[in-house]
Amino acid sequence: MEKFLDKLRSNSLLIKILSVMLLSVVCVATLTLSISIRASEDVYVDTFTQSNSQIIGQIRENMSRFNDEISEIMSVVKNNWAFRSYLTSDDRSSATASYTQYSMVWNLEHALPPDYFEKMSIVLVGVNGSTYLSSDAGLTIPVEELLNSRVTEETRRQPNRILYQFVDDGFTTLTQGDSAIVASTGLNYAGGQSNYGYAYVIIPQEVLRNFYSSFSSDANSLMLLDSDGRIISSTQKEIIGFKDLDLLSIAQQVEQEDLPYGETVQSDRQMAVVAQKIPHWEFHLVGLIDRESILRAVDRHKSIEIMTLLVVLCVFAIMFFVVRKTTRPINSLVNEMKKVTQGDFSRHIPVKGNYEVRELATAFNYMLDGLDSYMEQIMTMEDEKREAEIRALQMQINPHFIYNTLASLKWMIWQGNSESAVQAIDSFSRLLRGTISKREERITAAEEIDNLKDYVFLQHLRFGEQIQVRFSLAEDCQDCLMPKLTLQPFVENAFFHAFSGAEEGSIFVCIRRRGNDLVSEIIDNGSGMKKEEVGRTLSKGGKADHFTGIGINNVDDRIKLLYGAPYGVTISSAPGKGTAVTVTIPIQRMD
């Protein structure tokens, strides 16, 4: 888990970019998808509805043409002498009657268009009771009943028009058993008051349905409404004969206001209503379009959604690889830079990746180099500073020593000890030369021993020879370099402090090699120090009568400045046992 989180963290840029891109792509896709689906749904439904309007227009045309055909038949019946003769005459048997009937039948049959008229019944009825029916059909009701029926009553009211009326049952043997529409007209003499007969064309439902059923589907049902709102024909047989006044008013509204469609709700479904009036028939052709059904038929949502998902995934996959390729160099840059924080300044980071990353890497390397050289400069400066400090420190000869030594010299001269005075002046001037005047900071070990000898001579002169100093210098260390006045302070210290109480003592100075180090030891057999005193000794500054202002601790500091931490001064002492001072410096020889 930890590893996983770490991985996440180290790739956080990648993840951030990808998240943002993914979110954007998904947002865009979803938005576009829903807008276009919505838009296309609307367009589809509107188009469907409009094409339905056109279909309805087409059906209207067909029915209009059908009316024309019926008109023609009615016209023949009305105008041809044979029909009139047959329906008004009582002559049933003469040659004339034969001729009349022959003509009537011939004329009617030649006026019939071939298509669907064999399914329809043409009925001619005379008020004299004579009848003629087409296609071998017979009346299923008595003639008087037909003449007194509602259909004929209406026809009587408007005898010169062709009326289309709904009947529950066709009244011929051919059309009985189902509802039908009866086209009827009155037969009369022009200008006459009464009809000598009536002509009917019975149009059964199956003929009516021919007009519109091929355009109907689950989504879209067509029907005919008469002017009373009665449904006189429909693809849904159950509703034939019933009134639907709401639908009628909507249809009328659509027709009058010339709307592309109206709206209604049927059995909880949104329906679009297209309607057109059929002239002559005085019926309304109404189409009900179920929007949901249409849309269900167009249900490609699933496939579109799946497609979109696929596309988004593909795009995301491509994005992933591209972005990763771009951010990888950044990651490696980050990793390399991390090393710097851990202190490793030496390594350049590889310059690869895209332009921006390469620039970064190059600049970083440049910066590293700059840092590096800067650091070197600083170090050099520090070194020089150190050198200067040491030099400064080393320059400090204690003036009191000079005064006291000169005083001693003056005493010797006053005592008449001129030999010793001359030696003392020699030693003193050698000592001064060996320390102050010498420009170099470092002298050889041999020269330091000489300095020490001179110092000891002076001390003996001033204070007597109770304390003896012996020197030992290894052969191979003769020309080893060491800083000026390294050992002198310790010898001096031993002279002044090591032998409190005792009159005599020995100091042993030994310089030898130990590995790569030059080890100088100043050992005395004095009274020694306790541990706390050792610390104190080390921290003391130069006292009044010391040769230089350099204290013992200075020596340590100096050595550490010059050579580094591993080198320096250590003191070991125990009360009553004496003291051993060890000065460790690296072996360096003159180049």
Residue (88 or 582) nearer to another protein, CB = 88
Residue with smaller CB distance to another protein, 186 or 505? 186
Q: Which residues contact 548 (CB under 8 A, 6 or more apart)?
A: 394, 396, 397, 398, 401, 435, 485, 488, 489, 542
| Minimal distance, residue 122 CB to another protein, in Å | 11
Cβ-based nearer residue to another protein, 102 or 242: 102
As a whole number of angstroms, the distance between CA 234 and CA 223 comes to 4
Least distance (Å) from another protein to the CB of residue 316? Answer: 10
* Contact mark string toward another protein, 280..309, x via CB under 8 A: -----------------xx-x--xx-xx--
Looking at residues 95 to 124 of the shown chain, list those that interact with another protein (rule: CB under 8 A): 95-107, 110, 118
**Which one of 127-135, 487-495, 546-554, 558-566 is the stretch in contact with another protein (CB under 8 A)?**
127-135
Contact residues for 420 (Cβ-Cβ < 8 A; gap 6+): 412, 461
CB of 219 or CB of 275, closer to another protein? 219
Nearest residue to 121 via CA among 109, 133, 108 = 133
Only segment of 246-254, 313-321, 388-396, 517-525 that touches another protein (CB under 8 A): 313-321
Is residue 201 within a helix (H) or strand (E), and if so which, with residue range?
A: strand 195-204
Of 104 and 424, nearer to another protein (C-beta) is: 104
Give the chain's end-to-end CA distance (angstroms, integer).
61
Of 50 and 98, which CB lies nearer to another protein in the complex structure?
98
Q: Which of 28, 311, 379, 388 binds another protein (CB under 8 A)?
A: 311
Are the beta carbons of 195 and 125 closer than 8 angstroms? Answer: no
Q: Is there a contact between 232 and 222 (Cβ–Cβ < 8 Å)?
A: no
Closest CA to 404 of 199, 546, 503: 546
Distance in Å, CB of 373 to another protein, minimum: 38
Stretch that binds another protein, among 92-100, 232-240, 371-379, 385-393 (CB under 8 A): 92-100
Residue 198 Cβ vs another protein, minimum distance, rounded to whole Å: 16
Q: Angle at the Cα of 457 (from 451 to 459), degrees rounded to 5?
A: 105
Q: Distances in Å between the alpha carbon of 540 and those of 299, 536, 553?
A: 100, 6, 7
Among 141, 239, 245, 322, binds another protein (CB under 8 A): 322
Amino acid at 99: Y
Closer residue to another protein in complex, CB, 310/502: 310
Q: Which two tokens stand for residue 381?
A: 């400066």
Q: Total residues at the site for another protein (CB under 8 A)?
A: 52
Residue 231 to residue 245: CA distance in whole angstroms = 10
Distance separating alpha carbons of residues 494 and 578, to the nearest angstrom? 10
Query: How far, in Å, are 275, 491, 557 from residue 563 at the CA level?
Result: 111, 22, 10
Contacts of 177 (CB under 8 A, 6+ apart): 169, 170
Q: How far is the CB of 68 from another protein (least distance, A)?
A: 19
Task: Give the C-alpha separation, 405 to 547, whole Å.
Answer: 10
Identity of the residue, 82 or 167, whose beta carbon is nearer to another protein in the bound complex:
82
Let me know the angle formed at the C-alpha of 586 by 580 and 587, rounded to the nearest 5 degrees: 105
For residue 101, the minimal CB distance to another protein (Å) is: 5
- d(CA 513, CA 420) in angstroms, rounded, equals 36
Shortest spacing between CB 161 and another protein, in angstroms: 20
Instruction: Build a one-symbol-per-residue string for 174-193: x at contacts with another protein by CB under 8 A, - elsewhere.
Output: x--------------xx---
CB of 92 to another protein, least distance (A): 6
Q: What single DSSP character describes residue 497?
A: I
What part of residues 128-147 is at the interface with another protein (CB under 8 A)?
131-139
Shortest Å, Cβ 333 to another protein? 20
Q: Which is nearer to another protein, 92 or 470 (CB)?
A: 92
**Cβ nearer to another protein, comparing 309 with 367:** 309
Cβ closer to another protein: 39 or 388? 39
CB of 95 to another protein, least distance (A): 4
- Residues in the site for another protein, rule: CB under 8 A? 81, 84-85, 88-89, 91-107, 110, 118, 131-139, 173-174, 189-190, 297-298, 300, 303-304, 306-307, 310-311, 314, 317-318, 321-322, 325
